[in-house]
Amino acid sequence: MLYFDLVNPYITYMIIVLLFTFSVYAIFTKKQYIIKHKKKIMNIVMWLLIWTQVARYIGVFFSENVEWSFWIFNFRIVSFSLATHLPFYICRLSVLVLLYYAITKDKRVESFLFYWGATGIAGVLYPNGPIVNIFNLTETFFIDHFFLALTPFFLLVYQNYRPSKKDLFIITGLMFAILMLFIPMNNILDILLPLGSNVDYFYVNDQSIVGDLFPGLHSVVFVLIHTLGAFGFFSAYYYMFRDKEYEV
């Protein structure tokens, strides 16, 4: 994976935020251009998402070992760990669904992408925790979160999607169930994998900003807070766009 060695990470962050802002503006105001090039745009998104997945997970296809590194000309291209690199995170799971949608156009996953996938905006505005973390991020992180954050607006304007209150509750419940499931799952994997693996899928132990504000919370309490926060975010999207009609 390429790191932003030649560009100051803060400048990269600012560029991504500005590009995201312009893209949202373009989705609502440059409709004729986007309609004309819609197929090409979706193909570009599809191939970029395929590339980010290959860049992130290619190691698993070459080895059955728990820890593994892939080297070319003395450069480590990728290292894979079952303790951290499986796609059991809010946005990584969303990206896989978005890639599936880009390939199939399956309308059954649109509500998932509109609500859950929209949490990718956090990765654009608040990249992976404290701002200093951007020094550790690669282009795969920015590409994935950029497309996730834009997807709800694209669905509304160009895919004739309309938010459903029923789906709001279903997606929130799904998030709660998955996060609760991974509390014991992380503990089981921690036992099965080598000592020091520190399995923390869906960050139920690290707890991101919630853990910074309220250190020492039990994972169950974190899941409840996270789910309530997500429900508030999903509800905001629902009430902002439920009655909107967009002519294309």
Q: Does residue 182 form part of some domain?
A: yes
Q: Does residue 209 form part of some domain?
A: yes
pLDDT of 92 higher than 80: yes
pLDDT computed for residue 72 by the predictor: 44
Span of 23-37, 156-170, 187-201 with lowest mean pLDDT? 187-201
Q: Does residue 201 form part of some domain?
A: yes
The residue among 174, 177, 35, 151 whose CA lies nearest residue 95 is 151
Ranges of H-type helices in the chain: 9-29, 31-36, 38-57, 90-104, 110-115, 121-125, 139-158, 165-192, 208-213, 219-241
Question: Average per-residue pLDDT in the chain?
Answer: 85
Q: Does residue 248 form part of some domain?
A: no
Confidence of residue 76 (pLDDT cuts 50, 70, 90): very low
pLDDT of 62 higher than 70: no
Q: Does residue 83 form part of some domain?
A: yes
* Contacts of residue 2, Cβ cutoff 8 Å, sequence gap at least 6: 138, 139
Bigger pLDDT: 10 vs 105: 105
Q: Does residue 203 form part of some domain?
A: yes
Q: What is the C-alpha separation between 246 and 232, in angstroms, rounded?
A: 24
Provide the domain count of the chain.
1
Q: Which residues pair with 59 in a beta bridge?
A: none
Q: Does residue 125 form part of some domain?
A: yes
pLDDT tens string 171-222: 999 999 999 999 999 999 888 887 777 899 999 988 877 776 787 889 999 9
Q: Does residue 86 form part of some domain?
A: yes
Domain extent for 157: 9-241
For residues 126-149, average pLDDT: 80
pLDDT tens string 119-137: 999 888 887 666 667 777 7
pLDDT of 159 higher than 50: yes
